[in-house]
């Protein structure tokens, strides 16, 4: 039954905002659960400074005037917020699938609880995400997650999404929280991290490597590679944010930019975190195999720049 379940993630689903009665019951429900979010937020202070992205170490960035620097930084901040928003939004359809795929009452209960958390996270983040950024997902990461959610069976998702993605979410959101300049948003991320830790543990509790057939093993390897590839290529999205305000950069400029953004060092740190999360009982041979093929190594600044040019729209 689980293999036949298919969902449409509908990431572009709008917020209608027209049904005031529905908005009211959503707020009442959040209040009842003690999980009320923020209603209005001023947007004057950018949540993250240039140092989170290593832009303060980029010679190209430093040479730009203050106005352009601010525009790039705003673009990077918006990218992070929009990506987080869409990950939480994808969590809703994902949980709907996992509730239906649940083979026991407890699994369905657990996914009902997780769905409620993801709905709360979306509610908490939404006031920080400009309306036009809630329409089309940016970056490639969200699309590979959506593909996994659409195509994989429950046990495969217990590993790929519930264990790895949620585990990565703990690390990623914690970084966003500790570097965040705004207390209101910082507390949102810190609270989300607490939930993500439970979500990750659910994956560890449910995933059974003995149930993997050849098809599922293939999906697992593809999924693991997709996560690794997303990190190996470095900060492509940040470079894209820069280019939106500088115009098209040459290969030499791109190589220097990737070097200044410390692409190899930051990717190595991230890949090590990812590898640790992936190392679950029964999965060692998958990870060791990829490690032997040097899969967990980041690309050089030059390779990152070449990949960037190849994929430039």
Footprint of Fe ion (CB under 5 A): 88, 118, 121, 166, 196, 199
Residue 72 or 142 with smaller CB distance to Fe ion: 142
Strand (E) or helix (H) holding 192: helix 183-206
From the DSSP assignment, how many helices (H) and strands (E) are in the chain? 14, 0
Shorter beta-carbon distance to Fe ion: residue 121 or 134: 121
Specify the residue, 206 or 307, whose C-beta has the smaller distance to Fe ion. 206
Shortest Cβ 126–Fe ion spacing (Å): 13
Between 34 and 247, CB nearer to Fe ion? 34
User: CA angle 52-53-59, nearest 5°?
Assistant: 120
Nearest approach in angstroms of CB 122 to Fe ion is 8
| Pick 169 or 298: Cβ nearer Fe ion | 169
From the CA atom positions of the chain, what is the Rg in Å? 20
CA atoms within 13 A on the CB side of 308: 29
Instruction: For residue 299, report the phi and psi dihedrals to the nearest 5 degrees.
Output: -75, 155
> Smaller CB distance to Fe ion: residue 189 or 296?
189
Of the CA atoms within 13 Å of residue 265, those in its CB half-sphere come to 7
CB 97 within 8 A of CB 5: yes
Residue 118 or 237 with smaller CB distance to Fe ion: 118
Q: How far is the CB of 3 from Fe ion (least distance, A)?
A: 23
Q: Which of 36, 154, 29, 22 is nearest to 95 (CA)?
A: 154
Q: How far is the CB of 168 from Fe ion (least distance, A)?
A: 10
Instruction: Supply the minimum distance, in Å, between the C-beta of residue 263 and Fe ion.
Output: 27
Least distance between Fe ion and beta carbon 242 (Å): 28
Distance of closest approach, residue 170 Cβ to Fe ion, in angstroms: 9
Number of neighbours of residue 265 by Cβ within 10 angstroms? 11
CB of 207 to Fe ion, least distance (A): 15
Q: In this complex, which beta carbon is closest to Fe ion, that of residue 145 or of residue 224?
A: 145
Supply φ then ψ for residue 256, to 5 degrees. -60, -40
Report d(CA 275, CA 277) in Å as an integer: 5
CA dihedral 239, 241, 246, 250 (to 10 degrees): 30
Q: How many alpha carbons fall within 13 Å on the CB side of residue 257?
A: 28
Question: Quick check: helix, strand or coil at residue 179?
Answer: helix
């Amino acid at each position: 039954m689980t293999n036949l379940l298919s969902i449409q993630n509908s990431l572009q689903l709008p917020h209608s905002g027209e049904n005031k009665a529905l908005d009211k019951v959503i707020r009442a429900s959040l209040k009842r659960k003690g999980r009320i979010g923020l209603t209005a937020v001023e947007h004057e202070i950018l949540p993250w400074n240039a140092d989170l992205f290593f832009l303060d170490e980029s010679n190209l960035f430093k040479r730009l005037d203050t106005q352009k620097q601010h525009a790039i930084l705003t673009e990077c901040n918006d990218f992070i917020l929009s990506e987080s928003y869409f990950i939480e939004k994808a969590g809703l359809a994902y949980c709907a699938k996992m509730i239906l795929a649940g083979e026991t009452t407890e699994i369905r209960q657990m996914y009902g609880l997780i769905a409620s958390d993801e709905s709360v996270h979306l509610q908490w983040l939404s006031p920080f995400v400009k309306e036009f950024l809630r329409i089309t997902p940016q970056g490639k990461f969200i699309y590979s997650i959506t593909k996994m959610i659409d195509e994989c069976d429950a046990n495969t998702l217990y590993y790929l999404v519930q264990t790895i993605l949620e585990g990565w979410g703990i690390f990623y959101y914690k970084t966003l929280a500790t570097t965040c300049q705004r207390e209101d948003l910082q507390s949102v991320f810190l609270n989300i991290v607490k939930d993500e830790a439970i979500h990750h543990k659910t994956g560890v509790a449910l995933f059974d490597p003995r149930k993997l057939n050849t098809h599922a093993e293939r999906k697992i390897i593809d999924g693991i590679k997709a996560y690794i590839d997303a990190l190996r290529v470095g900060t492509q999205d940040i470079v894209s944010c820069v280019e939106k305000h500088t115009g098209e950069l040459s290969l030499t400029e791109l190589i220097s930019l990737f070097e200044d953004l410390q692409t190899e060092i930051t990717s190595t740190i991230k890949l090590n975190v990812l590898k640790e999360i992936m190392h679950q009982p029964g999965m060692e041979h998958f990870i060791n195999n990829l490690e032997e093929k040097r899969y967990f190594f980041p690309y050089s600044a030059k390779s990152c720049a070449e990949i960037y040019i190849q994929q430039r729209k």
